[in-house]
């Protein structure tokens, strides 16, 4: 593989931009990134890198912005074909649109098509890592990891486990959930760039016995991630209370069965009790903010400022197809809007940090992906900050990088993605 030198504006981070964005931000208006054998091997001033690496092939992006590739910390690839389905809140949305669609992935050829479509859409939108729920069908997990491997992408995935409150074609059992998850994680975890996540959908669709079996599997394989949903919508929380009368709160339905741990990813986490926040912070678990989903399904306003102040790991995610857009730019915009509604708007640096470093940290992959720094995988997204006339006329008034970038965060889409590199290979011309 030839050594590559990418030139342009560069934006990277060292440290926690939610705590101190000025201190964490590294912006160079004439920067560069050197890639060798799939990794970033140098960053700095473009001119200095050009002098130090005369053997590198040069791609000059002018004043486009070179960033780490976006990391989507929670989504459902099987739901790509039902994105933007009208008029339902969570439980009705699952029953009306989601479960019938997920049943279709019993056909592994169809699962492959949906996985391929989703991965290509992600790359077109500048997303280089996705963290996906698959369906209950083991073939849907193979389809996901095979599709990602064909594109060189680091992805997370897991077989969604459900043994109650789902239609017949979408239920597994206590034993098959354990056996299939174990076989799949043995097959995929650590193979190439694949990471496995044990995946109970959410506590309403698993019996206590199934949750306990998956907790036991996680105890046997603590190196893998565990992903699920937590406190997304009020009627869901009331349902959990009815189904688990002994539990202190929603998080306790996971905690009691060994499903609370440092490598746990808890999607949504909107309506949390103080005890739940304390426990998530104590065990260093991650919560994942899914802003377009939370407004689209009508779930509520995530407390970014409050949870960040507790030092929680926080990822950012599309949650497609409950989320209404494949773009992490639109996802950042929605996170900004929710911050505004709570009176705590996020700075553009914090939005970019969440979409890259924050999500990577939530996945325990900090420094390996989502990072524009030496030693990280060369998963890189290059943004055109004047991709449409509306954005260009606003960016033309900018007096600093944040004013130049924010219009693209708020109004940008796949047209803003000038180029994408995955593992040091150009993914999109
Ligand atoms: N809770 C349980 N399953 C789902 C899902 O597929 N999407 C969302 N947004 N919430 C869920
Ligand atoms: Zn979800």
| 337 sits in which H/E element | helix 328-341
Return the pLDDT at 428.
59
Kindly give the pairing relationship between strand 4-13 and strand 57-68.
Answer: parallel
Return the pLDDT at 429.
43
pLDDT by residue (tens digit) across 60-71? 999 999 999 999
Ligand 1 binding pocket includes 69 (Cβ within 6 Å): no
| Among the four given CATH numbers 3.40.190.10, 3.20.20.140, 3.20.20.10, 3.40.50.620, the one describing domain 70-326 | 3.20.20.140
Atom of ligand 1 nearest to the CA of 322: 9
Question: Across residues 308-335, what is the average pLDDT?
Answer: 98
DSSP state of 275: H
Average pLDDT, the chain: 98
φ, ψ at 239 (rounded to 5°): -65, -45
Residue 128 CA to residue 151 CA, distance in Å, equals: 10
Question: Across residues 385-408, what is the average pLDDT?
Answer: 98
pLDDT by residue (tens digit) across 151-196? 999 999 999 999 999 999 999 999 999 999 999 999 999 999 999 9
> Residue written as tokens 């939108």?
125
Question: CB neighbours of 248 closer than 8 A, spacing ≥ 6?
Answer: 275
Residue with CA nearest ligand 1 atom 7? 322
DSSP state of 347: P
Residue 404 CA to residue 394 CA, distance in Å, equals: 8
Ion ligand 2 neighbours (CB, 5 A) are 267, 319
Whole-number Å distance, alpha carbon 323 to ligand 1 midpoint, is 10
pLDDT by residue (tens digit) across 85-110? 999 999 999 999 999 999 999 999 99
Ligand 1 binding pocket includes 158 (Cβ within 6 Å): no
Fold that domain 4-68+370-428 belongs to in CATH = Urease, subunit C; domain 1 (2.30.40)
Residues 350, 351, 357, CA angle at the centre, nearest 5°? 75
Q: Is 368 helix (H, G, I), strand (E, B) or coil?
A: coil
- Smallest CA-to-CA distance from 344 within 335, 331, 353 is with 335
Whole-number Å distance, alpha carbon 12 to ligand 1 midpoint, is 32
- Smallest CA-to-CA distance from 15 within 386, 418, 357, 417 is with 357
φ, ψ at 59 (rounded to 5°): -120, 115
**What is the domain partition of the chain in residue ranges?**
4-68+370-428, 70-326
Question: CB neighbours of 214 closer than 8 A, spacing ≥ 6?
Answer: 161, 177, 178, 181, 198, 200, 206, 226, 257, 258, 259
Q: What is the ipTM of this complex?
A: 0.99
Topology alike, domains 4-68+370-428 and 70-326: no
Closest ligand to residue 79's CA: 1
Whole-number Å distance, alpha carbon 123 to ligand 2 midpoint, is 20
Ligand 1 binding pocket includes 319 (Cβ within 6 Å): yes
């Amino acid at each position: 593989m030839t050594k590559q030198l990418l030139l342009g504006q560069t934006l990277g981070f060292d440290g926690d931009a939610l705590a101190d964005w000025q201190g964490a931000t590294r912006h160079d208006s004439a920067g560069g990134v050197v890639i060798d054998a799939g990794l970033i091997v140098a960053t700095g001033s473009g001119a200095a890198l050009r002098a130090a690496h005369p053997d590198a092939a040069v791609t000059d992006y002018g004043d486009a912005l070179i960033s780490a590739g976006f990391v989507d910390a929670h989504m459902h690839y099987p739901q790509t074909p039902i994105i933007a389905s009208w008029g339902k809140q969570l439980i009705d949305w699952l029953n009306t649109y989601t479960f019938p669609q997920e049943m279709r992935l019993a056909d592994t050829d169809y699962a492959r098509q949906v996985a391929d479509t989703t991965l290509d859409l992600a790359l077109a939108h500048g997303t280089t890592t996705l963290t996906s729920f698959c369906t209950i069908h083991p073939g849907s997990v193979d389809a996901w990891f095979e599709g990602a491997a064909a594109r060189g992408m680091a992805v997370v995935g897991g077989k969604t486990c459900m043994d109650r409150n789902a239609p017949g074609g979408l239920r597994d059992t206590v034993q098959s959930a354990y056996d299939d998850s174990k076989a799949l994680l043995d097959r995929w975890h650590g193979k190439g760039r694949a990471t496995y996540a044990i995946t109970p959908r959410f506590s309403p669709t698993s019996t206590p016995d199934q949750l306990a079996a998956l907790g036991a599997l996680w105890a046997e394989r603590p190196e893998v991630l565990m992903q699920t949903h937590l406190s997304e919508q009020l009627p869901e929380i009331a349902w959990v209370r009815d189904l688990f009368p002994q539990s202190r709160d929603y998080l306790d339905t996971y905690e009691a069965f060994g499903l609370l741990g440092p490598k746990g990813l808890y999607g949504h986490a909107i309506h949390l009790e103080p005890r739940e926040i304390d426990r998530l912070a104590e065990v260093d678990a991650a919560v994942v903010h899914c802003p377009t989903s939370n407004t689209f399904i009508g779930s509520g306003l995530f407390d970014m400022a409050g949870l960040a102040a507790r030092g929680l790991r926080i990822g950012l995610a599309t949650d497609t197809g409950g989320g209404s857009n494949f773009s992490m730019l639109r996802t950042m915009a929605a996170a900004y809007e929710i911050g505004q509604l709570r009176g705590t708007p996020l700075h553009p640096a914090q939005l970019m940090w969440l979409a890259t470093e924050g999500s990577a940290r939530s996945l325990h992959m900090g420094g390996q992906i989502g990072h524009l720094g030496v030693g990280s995988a060369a998963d890189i997204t290059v943004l055109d900050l004047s991709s449409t006339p509306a954005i260009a006329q606003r960016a033309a008034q900018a007096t600093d990088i944040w004013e130049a970038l924010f219009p693209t965060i708020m109004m940008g889409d796949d047209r803003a993605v000038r180029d994408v590199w995955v593992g040091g290979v150009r993914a999109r011309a």
